[in-house]
Amino acid sequence: MKFTLEKEGVNVVKMDITIPAKDAQQAYEAAVKRFAQYVNIDGFRKGKAPKHMVERQIGTERIKAEAIENIIPSAVTEIVRKDKLDLITQPAITDYDFEIGKDLKITVRAEERPDVTLGKYKDLTVTVQDTPVTQASFDNALSGLLARYAEEKTVTEKRAAKNTDIAVIDFDGSVDGKKIPGGAGTSYSLDLGNSNFIPGFAEAIVGHKVGEEFDINVTFPENYGSTDLQGKKAVFKINLHELKVKTTPELTDEIAKKAGPFESADALKADIQNYLETQRDNANKQNSENELFKMIVANAKVDIPQSMIEREKASIIEEYKTRLSQQGVTWDVFLKSQDENQIMKTINDDARSRIKNSLVIEKIARAEELKLETQDFQQKLSEMSAAYGVAPDVLVREVGQSPAFMSNLSQQAMNDKVRDFVMTNNKVVFAAASGGAAKKSADKKPAAKEPAAKKPAAEKKPAAKKPAKKTTTKKAK
């Protein structure tokens, strides 16, 4: 085999490959035999039809294409090895000249990884705003926990609804006199102060009394999930059955025992404090990494080809579509509700940023000769299995044979290794949030251990009690 290489544009390499006539002939004959194994030709068992009949049935051009597809992988692998190419796309056959009895000429094009020129990435110093654990944050966490044990009590006095009440209502919506499909509910408990119904719905109930039947007029948002209702004026008939208020208990040893493995209120308070401090440490660590990488990436130089940007943009758009579909919103509806030019600019900027970050991480890994060890894979596998909620062995059994999964696992493990290297070889100074003295971090990766006790329920939203009977709807939300 002979070959010549030619650079095209920023990172495209053109390979002109010449395969000796004898090797090309052998590849063609092998392709004929493969086709003969499954082609149906009258009068012959599979695999027994003569060559000329297989050629007539399949077509010589299709057989040649099959032969080339089987030649290219080993040919390109040899070229990559000899010239130390770093390809980031699968080689594409763009032209060939295949005449039996003559040398086979093939033109293949592929993209090489853009070259990165690293700037300074060690012995840097960055200043990061410290995130203190304040009394207010502790109080909020404790209040959130206690809210889980709040009791709902019926309002017995004859008074108007307040925005702190829970209203039990029947509702029935219509637009232009026509009922909204699924736009009705009975005995629905609506938290008037924390409603996710359409704007103005809960607010219009405030001021009314139990037993009243009334109409409220609202307008569906322009970006509402159902296109038929976007921007439409609606009328909802309301029947107010009951008002309830929540009473939050004081923290006691009994409440602490219900919340988790705590023997006393003080033990629960200590766990909340520990959790908040761990969250603070995690936030400081994340912010430190972000600021360091922002500086390192800014110091690096790389010419990113448009083709890479377009592929990354397509990937980001698919991520958008997935998230939107989980909310019942289509990509087209989303674009119409936003500034499309701004959205596409954001996606383009994100694509460039992702690519450059990835290339810089890879370059540092090579420059520092960082290698993945068994424990690196095990650590990342444990993290991923925890994220998926399955045991590591189950995860390996289900997807461990997938090349894409293993590639992603390796990439994430290497990313972590580079981040550890960066944190170890640079310095972070934490600036006090309100004029206090700044503190220096150790020149190594900060610890970020999880609290010993389970995550306090204070971080969770209180679960509303289910009404005895209700018919919910998404249309009014």
CATH of residue 197's domain is: 3.10.50.40
Q: Environment class of residue 131 by beta-carbon count within 10 Å: exposed (0-12), middle (13-18) or buried (19+)?
A: middle
**Phi, psi at residue 85, to the nearest 5°?**
-75, 150
Query: DSSP 3-state assignment of 453?
Result: coil
Task: Assess whether 37 and 179 both reside in one domain.
Answer: no
State residue 17's pLDDT score: 95
Within a domain: 305: yes
* CA distance linking residue 162 with residue 218, whole number of Å: 19
Within a domain: 465: no
Q: Taking residues 85-89, what's their average pLDDT? A: 90
Top-confidence residue, 86 or 432: 86
Task: Assess whether 317 and 447 both reside in one domain.
Answer: yes
* CA distance linking residue 205 with residue 190, whole number of Å: 10
Within a domain: 40: yes
Grade residue 441 by pLDDT with cuts at 50, 70 and 90. Answer: low
Grade residue 434 by pLDDT with cuts at 50, 70 and 90. Answer: low
Task: Assess whether 223 and 286 both reside in one domain.
Answer: no
Task: Assess whether 272 and 335 both reside in one domain.
Answer: yes
Measuring CA to CA, which residue among 148, 17, 113 is closest to residue 71?
17
Print burial letters for 140-156: b (CB count within 10 Å at least 16), e (below 16): ebbebbbbbbeeeeebe
Task: Assess whether 375 and 445 both reside in one domain.
Answer: yes
pLDDT, tens digit, 9 for 90 and up, residues 342-351: 999 999 999 9
Within a domain: 106: yes
Q: Environment class of residue 415 by beta-carbon count within 10 Å: exposed (0-12), middle (13-18) or buried (19+)?
A: middle
Within a domain: 257: no
Task: Assess whether 379 and 239 both reside in one domain.
Answer: no
* Mean pLDDT score of the chain: 86
* Range(s) of the domain holding residue 62: 2-113
CATH of the domain at 38: 3.30.70.1050
Task: Assess whether 336 and 424 both reside in one domain.
Answer: yes
Task: Assess whether 54 and 158 both reside in one domain.
Answer: no
Task: Assess whether 324 and 353 both reside in one domain.
Answer: yes
Q: Which among 157-171, 318-332, 390-404 has the top mean pLDDT? A: 157-171
pLDDT, tens digit, 9 for 90 and up, residues 257-283: 999 999 999 999 999 999 999 999 999
- C-alpha to C-alpha distances, 31 to 27, 61, 87, 116, 371, nearest whole angstrom: 6, 11, 28, 42, 41
Within a domain: 472: no
Task: Assess whether 186 and 314 both reside in one domain.
Answer: no
CATH of the domain at 446: 1.10.3120.10
Within a domain: 146: no
Q: Which of 152-161, 170-179, 319-328, 332-341 has the lowest mean pLDDT?
A: 332-341
Within a domain: 64: yes
pLDDT, tens digit, 9 for 90 and up, residues 231-247: 999 999 999 999 999 88
Contact 47/36 with Cβ under 8 angstroms?
yes
State residue 437's pLDDT score: 47
Q: What share of residues in the chain are helix, strand, coil (percent, to 5)? A: 45, 20, 35
- C-alpha to C-alpha distances, 118 to 364, 390, 411, nearest whole angstrom: 8, 39, 20
Q: Which of 113, 128, 161 is the last residue of a domain?
A: 113
Task: Assess whether 314 and 451 both reside in one domain.
Answer: yes
H helices of 192-305, where? 201-205, 253-259, 265-299
* CA distance linking residue 405 with residue 388, whole number of Å: 13
Task: Assess whether 321 and 381 both reside in one domain.
Answer: yes
* CA distance linking residue 395 with residue 288, whole number of Å: 31
The pair of three-digit structure tokens given for residue 297, joined into one six-digit string: 């990436």
- The total of structural domains in the chain comes to 3
* CA distance linking residue 141 with residue 269, whole number of Å: 10
State residue 459's pLDDT score: 39
Q: Which of 12-21, 168-177, 427-436 has the lowest mean pLDDT?
A: 427-436
Q: Which of 265-274, 341-350, 358-367, 387-396 has the lowest mean pLDDT?
A: 387-396
